[in-house]
Amino acid sequence: MKFARREPSPPTPDTVIWRYLEDWKFEDLLMRFTEHDQWPNKNGKRKVHHNEPGQMWFAFPRTFEDEKEGHFPDANDDPEVYCDRMAARMGLSEEEARNRKERFLAADTQTMRDAIFSMAQICGVSCWSASNCESAEMWFNFVSSPNGVAIRSTCAQVEHALTHAHNTPARKAKPSICAVGYVDHSSYFLAEDGFRNLLAIVQESWSYENEVRFVAKSPALAAIPTQVSKPGIVETLSAKEKQEHIATVAEQARTAYVALRQSRSEGFHLPIDLAGMIAEIVLKPGSSQEYSTIVRDLVGKANLGSVPIRTSSL
């Protein structure tokens, strides 16, 4: 798994991260992956996998409360402003900046932006919080029901869980990890503005989450041939052929995005290798002994009996 390039720097592998889960979401995490048919093989035949318990939920950006999720900052959305900001970042001379701007504005840049936006919207995101200890604020905001857990892990442990389960979904989904940058969309400039980079910026008001994200292609996005044949071949195409390819990708991504919205799909699962992913399970403050027994039973059935379980001290 490769880190998504962006500012700030990606988290280190040993960064401690937490995921706060309602009781039903925790049960979902421990279930067996059953969405094999969404990831068909090249020959179109279904391949049945008999896997161990463990699946991770990846939510589509539109399901988040932040209305700017997966959107370009204003400076990136305006072609002229984008050119000026990029020229300044690159340290171009006045003449170089002017020539570059003329070439850029002469091209159909809107189609490219439409493609990137739609591709971001049909990606899935798994949100974690980076902290050395549990957070009372995160409990309050993310576990509203009486029962729930927080699972403690590290970036390396979650990465391993995603890449050591079933090869087909992970290979096609290409999960990557990034630290989230909390920005003002009206003034921020995103130098690298690919679809994964759009999902690595969040409005400043959410900075208390100190978020680390795992971003993965959905089955719908993985099915779009963004490369012409093999890596690098697109560079040999003519300008017209490149534009036609971009337009095709943009249309397919937009169609997939509309279809997902109409289906009211909120996300998808990826299989994970649970063994070694969870360093500790913390029960929500005030949890009953009965719920503690339920969690221990679930953990035992998932073959995770060695994982420490404790009640929150908050």
> pTM to 2 decimals?
0.91
Q: Which pLDDT belongs to residue 39?
A: 85
Q: What whole-number distance in Å separates Cα of residue 29 and Cα of residue 295?
A: 12
* Residue 270: its H or E element: strand 267-271
Total structural domains within the chain: 1
In a domain, 25, yes or no: yes
For residue 72, give its domain range. 16-311
Whole-angstrom CA distances from 89 to 49, 118, 191 are 49, 26, 8
Q: Which pLDDT belongs to residue 18?
A: 98
In a domain, 164, yes or no: yes
Q: Which pLDDT belongs to residue 4?
A: 42
In a domain, 215, yes or no: yes
In a domain, 86, yes or no: yes
Indicate left, alpha or beta for 175 from its phi (over 0: left) and psi (-120 to 50: alpha): beta
In a domain, 10, yes or no: no
Q: What whole-number distance in Å separates Cα of residue 285 and Cα of residue 292?
A: 11
In a domain, 178, yes or no: yes
In a domain, 196, yes or no: yes
What are φ and ψ of residue 33, in 5° steps? -70, 130
Q: Which pLDDT belongs to residue 3?
A: 41
- Assess contact for 2 and 175: CB atoms under 8 A: no
Q: Which pLDDT belongs to residue 235?
A: 59
- Residue spans of the chain under pLDDT 70: 1-9, 41-51, 227-236
In a domain, 118, yes or no: yes
Q: What whole-number distance in Å separates Cα of residue 272 and Cα of residue 186?
A: 38
Q: Which pLDDT belongs to residue 6?
A: 41
Q: Which pLDDT belongs to residue 5?
A: 38
Q: Which pLDDT belongs to residue 266?
A: 96
**pLDDT, tens digit, for every residue of 21-67?**
999 999 999 999 989 888 876 655 555 555 679 999 999 999 999 99
